[in-house]
Amino acid sequence: MELSKEEWGTYRGHIVHIYTVKDTKNNFSVGITELGASLLRILLPDKNGVVGDIALTQYTPKELVEKPGYLGQSIGRFGNRINHAKFELDGIEHRLNANSNGHCLHGGKEGFNQKVWTLLDSKVSESEVILHFQYISPDAEENFPGELKNSVIYNVSPLQISWEFLASTNRATTINLTNHAYWNLDGLETTIDHLSVQLKATHYMPINQDGSPTGEVVAIEAGSALDLSSPKPIEQVFKDFGDVDNNFFINGRDANPKGNKKGSPLHSFAQVFSPKTGRFMEIQTTEPCFQFYTGNFLHEVGTVNGHHKADKHYAFCMEKQSPPKAINLPQFRDWAILKPRDE
């Protein structure tokens, strides 16, 4: 494995870099930056050995932050939505910055994705490259309580990439960290319609017209539109259900919500395959849920990866998380609270 570093540009007076990890044996490479602790270009060969992009990004720091979409960025302090941009904790009501139809989305008006993180450590060996980034969020940033020390540790090994979020606080707060990577195993020139997806999920949360979850948890019936227990073309999901932007509960994490705790072992919950390119992705997490988003608003981004047109359904996200608005849902509230001495 190889690691290189190059200056990418500046953001708010800070020099930011691209850290490129290469798995030369498999022609697999991953770009990462301290700006938003974000994933950048990810290159992977197809079944014919042709190397191509499989993730959406931007080619300048300004575009990455100022264009919509949160492409590849680390999300916090609270990923997904907090309804009505407020919550109560320890008898105090906290009113947040509303940035999405009256709700707080992905941390508010200036979330962790717009921060320049600090590279604390890097390790390179024959089998892996590890990059450890940190961002310290001050008390009351975006009106969230407590100073929050956040780390994201990227680990890139042959044909594999993983990341781990760690956090500690000096005051009880709400937290839901995730990464907002967009994927298309068919490349950048087409929709995700012909990708095949299989999910290990037994329940999901419906959403309102403004994209916020209703708070209901609905069982996925066998044979229904969202029954993806067997591989199904995403095109068929669109025909049967429509656009997807919903939280799903991974098998076994929803039957007894009050008894469910985070910190479970790593488990596989999704498989995606491209018949066209032969590329295959398996996704694992320790989190109880994930947000399956089918890029319904990518047309608002304009262009990605330099000059490629971004359009609706040109990529998908699988955002590992606690349930959206969990802090305001009694049965999931404990999942979204971090206290001093917890991590």
Active site residues: 180, 319
* DSSP at 142: G
Identity of the residue numbered 303 = T
CA distance linking residue 340 with residue 147, whole number of Å: 10
For residue 256, what are the contacts with CB-CB under 8 A and spacing of at least 6? Answer: none
DSSP track, 211-242: S-B-S--EE--TTSTT--SS-EEHHHHHHHT-
Choose among 178, 135, 153, 171: nearest CA to 342: 171
CA distance linking residue 21 with residue 18, whole number of Å: 10
Q: How many CB atoms lie within 10 A of CB 117?
A: 22
Identity of the residue numbered 149 = K
∠ Cα 235 239 240 (to 5°): 115
Residue in the structure block whose two tokens are 């929803």: 254
Identity of the residue numbered 56 = L
